[in-house]
Amino acid sequence: MTYHLPAFRHPHSPPNSAGHTYRDYEGVISTLCAGCGHDSISAALVQTCYELSIEPHQVAKLSGIGCSSKTPNYFLGYSHGFNAVHGRMPSVATGANLANPNLLYLGVSGDGDTASIGMGQFVHAIRRNLNITYLVENNGCYGLTKGQPSATADHNSPNKSGEINEHISVDLCGLALQLGCGYVARGFSGDKKQLIPLLKGALTYKGFAFVDILSPCVTFNNHAESSKSYDHIRAHAVMMGELDFVPAYEEIVVESAPRKVQRVQLHDGSSVFLYKTGDDDIDLSDATAALNFLRTHIDSGHITTGLLHCNGAGLELHQTLNTSETAFNQLSEKELCPGNQVLQQINHSLSVIR
């Protein structure tokens, strides 16, 4: 069943620089449980895309299966969307991206969808540096199938019925860093102020941008002993510093700010700024330092949030494969069918034994 928002628009709802109002970035009414962290992430995405003045029809939303993977229905109602099979979103995204490099790809997944059944796909999409913003709405359980612990459930953390998780958990940020992902961040659905700049940086990044978002499941994994509950995350989060994002078209005025500001320039000229808060803050371009930072804090029971790593290096998949910059559906017949002589040359080049 789909519940649509009323078409009524507030007369004073201001348009952004693309001429769209906030309402143009919303989707249908959510059917998730009231208080689910995933809904807060959808709201953050609506605000992010509105503030970045993204053209909704230039976005392709892709997801797998799970409560988290349902959420693309609840934002960017005028965008393209594909709800794939469980764990298979990265390969659908790869195919779509190769067919049309000119859309903004946004993948939304869950910890079950990514860290279990979709692990192989996730890992290879990072290795290939697919140009996508990949979000995991991480609640440490399979919400849709009634709360079984997922691969990101913390070691020794009990589920709602008191059963202890005896397995080591997968830290998706650590894995992404280890695989060479160029943009790695962790947010919390309950902290929009931090989450929105992280999303802006990810959507502007050219290449694989990964954001792991802690997103409590209020129905199955928000009890007092859960390490993925609102209370636990609030009590144990270690923020990497305050974050700001300045789009390319806005004047940058923070460069003369105190010495503890780290600026990372993105490909389109936009910048992400990290205002350092602690002595142990790391250099954002150093993936090894980020990995060590994560490990140290995991060992002491803390949850690191914020921008962990951002570098401008690396070719994204299209650049590596040297593929057409024009979408397949924009290529003319002449380009798609270059003629017999060209085909003969290709065949000949393949048949030469060296």
Where do contacts with ligand SF4 occur on this chain (CB under 6 A)? 32-33, 36, 38, 67, 139, 143-144, 217-220
Q: Is 305 in the site for ligand TPP (CB under 6 A)?
A: no
Closest to ligand SF4 by CB, 139 or 194: 139
The three-state secondary structure class of 306 is: strand
Q: CB of 146: closest distance to ligand TPP in angstroms?
A: 9
Map the footprint of ligand TPP across residues 37-66, applying CB under 6 A. 65-66
Residue 233 interacts with which of Mg ion, ligand TPP, ligand SF4, none, CB < 5 to 8 Å by class? none
Q: Is 110 in the site for Mg ion (CB under 5 A)?
A: yes
Q: CB of 108: closest distance to ligand SF4 in angstroms?
A: 13
Q: Is 143 in the site for ligand TPP (CB under 6 A)?
A: yes
Residue 36 interacts with which of ligand SF4, Mg ion, ligand TPP, none, CB < 5 to 8 Å by class? ligand SF4
Q: Are 27 and 74 in contact, with CB atoms under 8 Å apart?
A: yes
Residue 145 interacts with which of ligand TPP, ligand SF4, Mg ion, none, CB < 5 to 8 Å by class? ligand TPP
- For residue 271, the cross-strand partners are 246, 265
Q: Is 144 in the site for ligand TPP (CB under 6 A)?
A: yes
Token pair, residue 283, equals: 């250099």
Closest to Mg ion by CB, 84 or 272: 84
Q: Are 56 and 20 in contact, with CB atoms under 8 Å apart?
A: yes
Closest to ligand TPP by CB, 144 or 294: 144
Residue 20 interacts with which of Mg ion, ligand SF4, ligand TPP, none, CB < 5 to 8 Å by class? none
**What is the secondary structure of 91-126 as a DSSP string?**
HHHHHHHHH-TTSEEEEEEEHHHHHTTTHHHHHHHH
Closest to ligand TPP by CB, 39 or 111: 111
Phi first, then psi: what are they for 75, rounded to 5°? -145, 165
Say how far apart CA 10 and CA 60 lie, in whole Å.
27
Q: CB of 41: closest distance to ligand TPP in angstroms?
A: 10
If phi > 0 it is left, if psi is from -120 to 50 it is alpha, else beta; for residue 306 that is left
Token pair, residue 149, equals: 């612990």
Say how far apart CA 286 and CA 180 lie, in whole Å.
11
148-149 vs 141-142, strand pairing mode: antiparallel
Closest CA to 139 of 198, 199, 222: 222
Contacts with ligand TPP by CB under 6 A lie at: 65-68, 86, 110-113, 137, 139, 141-145, 150
Contacts with Mg ion by CB under 5 A lie at: 110-112, 139, 143
